[in-house]
């Protein structure tokens, strides 16, 4: 039964919305789009979430030089309910999906769409990532070519971005938002805590002449914002597993 499979989703409105999407003919259920309108690729193979309006996160984006489509929406539903909604959708359509909950406030579900005839060994990775922020959940819908990403040479790390000792090789994600260039750097640090990682960045910024603007903790997510001249970096650190920390750094330079 749909309700039993959803598990954590114990509200008939969400179950009914998913049942309606699944019973509709292919392509019948349409997303509600709001400006800036996301690319069709970002929403492909994903049903609309009830009462959600999809928007483009950036006008364009690349990871290691390969295109990356991203859309987003917000909802009052908790992370677990959002992921259960999409995991059950994939299951009922016999699309093998991977689902992981880092914590009650973050997680993802993903499905690899392959075409063995036209593109052997290649496919489009459709991912739904959810992050709880106070009283709402922000959901990111993305699509990329994982094989192209693994084969592409990594983009150079900006000179003013630091990597903690034993940090994994960083991946640089470049975005363009209304003419404003933003870089997002992702890495992980083993055998550390989010507090230890933030202490490293706090010391680094202080020693290199950056001004610390805000320091806060949101549902286990450590956040540090620093600025120097026209540059600003936002560091987010969160627990990803036993003894491991995921680090995301957003870097932008204002005109």
Half-sphere exposure of residue 50: CA atoms within 13 angstroms, side-chain side: 17
pLDDT of amino acid 133: 79
Of residues 124, 132, 129, the one with CA closest to residue 141: 129
Report all structural domains of the chain as residue ranges with CATH numbers, in order of start: 2-150 (no CATH), 154-253 (3.30.530.20)
pLDDT of amino acid 23: 63
pLDDT of amino acid 116: 47
**Omega into 239 within 30° of 0, i.e. cis?**
no
CA pair distance 112, 124, nearest whole angstrom: 6
Contacts for 94-102 with beta carbons within 8 Å, 24 or more apart? 102/238, 102/239, 102/240, 102/241, 102/246
DSSP annotation string for 91-126: HHTT--EEEEEEETTEEEEEEEEEETTTEEEEEEEE
DSSP annotation string for 129-194: EEEEETTEEEEEEEEE-HHHHHHSPPPPPPTT----TTPPPPEEEEEEETTEEEEEEEEEEET--H
Radius of gyration of the chain, Cα coordinates, nearest whole angstrom? 19
* Cβ count near 247 (within 10 Å): 26
Of residues 149, 141, 147, the one with CA closest to residue 172: 149
Of residues 31, 114, 27, 17, the one with CA closest to residue 72: 31
Instruction: Please say whether the beta carbons of 81 and 9 come within 8 A.
Output: yes
Residues (pLDDT < 50) of the chain are: 1-10, 25-26, 116-118, 120
Q: What pTM value is reported for the model? A: 0.59
Cα–Cα distance list, 19 to 76, 98, 160 (Å): 20, 21, 50
CA angle 255, 198, 161 (to 5 degrees): 40
CA angle 237, 60, 143 (to 5 degrees): 70
Query: Which tokens belong to 113?
Result: 């769409």
* pLDDT tens readout for residues 14-42: 777 666 666 654 455 678 888 777 777 77
């Amino acid at each position: 039964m749909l309700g039993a499979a959803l598990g954590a989703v114990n509200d008939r409105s969400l179950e009914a919305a998913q049942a309606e999407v699944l019973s509709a003919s292919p392509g019948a259920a349409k997303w509600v789009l709001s400006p800036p309108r996301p690319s069709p690729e970002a929403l492909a193979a994903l049903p609309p979430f009830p009462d959600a309006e999809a928007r483009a996160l950036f006008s364009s984006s690349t990871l290691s030089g390969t295109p990356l489509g991203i859309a987003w929406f917000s909802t009052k539903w908790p992370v677990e309910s959002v992921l259960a909604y999409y995991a059950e959708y994939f299951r009922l359509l016999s699309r093998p999906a991977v689902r992981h909950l880092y914590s009650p406030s973050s997680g993802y579900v993903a499905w690899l769409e392959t075409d063995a005839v036209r593109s052997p060994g290649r496919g489009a990775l459709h991912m739904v990532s959810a992050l709880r922020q106070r009283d709402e959940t922000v959901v990111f819908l993305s699509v990329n070519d994982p094989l192209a990403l693994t084969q592409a040479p990594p983009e150079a790390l900006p000179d003013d971005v630091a990597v903690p000792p034993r940090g994994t090789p960083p991946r640089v994600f470049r975005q363009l938002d209304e003419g404003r260039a933003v870089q997002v750097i992702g890495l992980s640090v083993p055998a550390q805590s989010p507090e230890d990682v933030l202490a490293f960045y706090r010391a680094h910024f202080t020693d290199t002449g950056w001004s610390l603007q805000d320091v806060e903790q949101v549902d286990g997510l450590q956040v540090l914002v620093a600025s120097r001249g026209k540059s600003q970096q936002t560091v987010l650190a969160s627990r990803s597993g036993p003894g491991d920390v995921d680090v995301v750094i957003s870097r932008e330079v204002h005109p």
